[in-house]
Amino acid sequence: MRPKHFQKLVDRIRGEPVERPIAALMLRAMQKARYDASPLGHFGLAAEYYTHFTSPIRRYPDLVVHRMLRQARKVGITDDSRLELAEELPEVARHTSERERRADEAERELLQWKKVRFMADKVGDEFHGYITGVAPYGLFIELIEHFVEGLVHISSMADDYYRFVEQQHMLRGENTKRVYRLGDKVLVQVVRVDMERRQLDLGLVEILESVRRDERPRGTIRSKVKPKRERRRAQRPGRRVRNARKEGRRRRR
């Protein structure tokens, strides 16, 4: 695929509920960006030639570019300096690519910890969200109000057996035929906040209510209708009193 194909897809889904999850899938489908000493261009921008030229405080590769431009402007690039750069730049590109990936991972972990901490006092609250990911073990939901992502584990979907349909990015109930697919808007409840694992456990409100309805009649019958044994036991004290009175009359006679 070429960049223009991705751009057409983005234009087609702009403003739709599926825009965010599909954009995320597009990013995952692309190879991770990396720095290189050769002019490989930029896939996303469809640029044949591309180099970083933002603030050198932001990225070390930008600082490397600034230094080379300063050298070329002041003293020029000699043959010796070209050979020296040809030896150094591949290792600089590899090292900076690796460090940037580690920095991104650290940033994601910190943000996730902050998000989970923010949701710690919201257990039991309900929020609207979109399905941003579908896996055999559950659904990933991003809350609309707070942009926090949590997991609806498949074990909490106890009203049916849900089968994972990978090609269509959805979970489908075998008996109810209920379907949850990528981009669907759902109402979820915060079930548990795990600070140690930095994970937010959610439950689908319609499934939680369905399970509660199925359990409620049995509990209601037990609480309101007493078994026959309990009714008999409740009647025994009265019988004992009457029998004692009869026995007392006989003794007086």
- In a shared domain, residues 113 and 141: no
pLDDT above 70: residue 60? yes
CATH number at residue 137: 2.40.50.140
Q: What is the pLDDT of residues 123-179, one digit of tens each?
A: 999 999 999 889 999 999 999 888 899 999 999 999 999 999 988 889 999 998 999
Point out the domain boundary residue: 84, 118, 152.
Answer: 118
155 and 88 housed in the same domain: no
Task: Provide the number of structural domains found in the chain.
Answer: 2
The answer as to whether 135 is a domain residue is yes
Q: Does residue 156 share a domain with residue 61?
A: no
Tell me the mean pLDDT in the region 107-115.
92
The percentage of residues in the chain with a pLDDT greater than 90, rounded to a whole number, is 39
Q: What is the pLDDT of residue 155?
A: 93
Q: Does residue 173 form part of some domain? A: yes
Domain that holds residue 99: 31-118
* Cα 198 to Cα 96, 105, 132, 142, 171, distances in angstroms: 28, 14, 18, 15, 25
pLDDT tens for residues 23-52? Answer: 777 766 666 778 888 888 877 677 788 887
- Write down the pLDDT at residue 171: 95
Between residues 197 and 188, which one has the greater pLDDT? 188
Q: Is 85 exposed, middle or buried (0-12, 13-18, 19+ CB in 10 A)?
A: middle
User: What pLDDT does residue 220 have?
Assistant: 45
